[in-house]
Amino acid sequence: MNTAATYQYPRIYLYRRIVQAKLFIDTYYAEKIDLENISDEAYFSKFHFIRLFKTVYGKTPHQYLKATRIEKAKQLLREGKPVSDACFLVGFDSLSSFSGLFKRTVGQSASVYAAYHRQHKEQKAKTPLAFVPGCYAYQHGWTENSNFEETDQ
Amino acid sequence: MTVTNIHVLDQDSAYDFYVNKLGFILVDDIPMGPDTRWLTVSPPEQPDLQLVLFPVKVSKMFPKETADALIKLIKQGIFGCGVLTCNDIFATYEELKAKGVEFIKPPTKEFYGTEALFKDDSGNYFSLQPLNNFDAQS
């Protein structure tokens, strides 16, 4: 790294690089991505990059990748995917490492989380109106008797 | 405040804006008859606050004249729905821009702090400010 010519990058340029890295992780989290090279550019050391990333997002790129995978896994479990499917769909190689990280991050096991949301979903399907505040339902004409039809105007 | 409305012109397009671009969490998406859903989202760090993406349509609630007037005003960008705070306004600005959000004003230093303005897919606008704008002044 050439320290004799120190460039003052405009702040916006640095931000753009950090944001690009974050969006890259957001898009490719399920692949085997190489975070080692994510900061690879002249005059921008990996250490500095990781430190800046952490200042902006509160996590290092590696921590952010793990958190993103777990968030996506939660979403898949809420949609009804089996735990093993969610695990491999978000980029984990082994069910045990996924389960361990999930429990440490979320505070409950993946199967307990999935079961709760499956139940909740079944309830919503049976009684959708239980989830809509009564005033909205009434004003919109969504009461039990009206069969969700809107009045002609 | 537990539930509040954002009046939108199209629920599909609003879903794409609030969930995919703004990164809000989908809470409920329940069909309620032809062409209407009970569609609610939450800001990622505020699971107790639900925003209803309320479609403006001719209905019992909005007679035709009212609906037409409201749609016109929304398209004119009359409605500011409030302030969204973030940790880092420059990072958030870059990210939203990269995702195609239209800004009315880029992050600009005002007397009350730094602020940006952007609009949703219907025309509603939001002020975007960093959390430290709201710190107690010394």
Angle at A15 between CA A13 and CA A21, to 5 degrees: 105
Chain A CB within 8 Å of residue B33 CB? yes
> By the CB < 8 Å criterion, does B69 face chain A?
no
Q: Coil, strand, or helix at residue A146?
A: helix
Pick the residue with more confidence: B122 or A38? B122
The terminus-to-terminus CA distance of chain B in angstroms comes to 29
Q: Is the ipTM of this complex over 0.85?
A: no
Q: Per the structure, how many domains does chain A have?
A: 1
Contact of B136 with chain A, judged by CB distance below 8 Å, is answered with: no
pLDDT of residue A10: 62
Which uninterrupted H or E stretch holds B83? strand B80-86
State the pLDDT confidence band at A2, using cuts at 50, 70 and 90.
Answer: very low
Q: Which residue of A has its CA nearest to B67?
A: A153
The CA angle B56-B58-B63, to the nearest 5 degrees, is 110
- Looking at the complex, does the CB of residue B131 fall below 8 Å from at least one CB of chain A? no
Distance from CA of residue A87 to its chain's centroid? 14
Confidence of residue A44 (pLDDT cuts 50, 70, 90): low
Tell me, what CATH number does A16's domain have?
Answer: 1.10.10.60
A45 is in which domain, residue-wise?
11-122
- Model confidence over A49-68: pLDDT tens digits? 888 899 999 999 999 999 99
Q: Which domains does chain B have, with CATH numbers?
A: 3-134 (3.10.180.10)
**pLDDT surpasses 80 at A87:** yes
Per the domain annotation, does A150 fall within a domain? Answer: no
What residues of B are in contact with residue A124 (Cβ under 8 Å)?
28, 30
CB contact under 8 A, B38 and A22: no
pLDDT at res. A39: 64
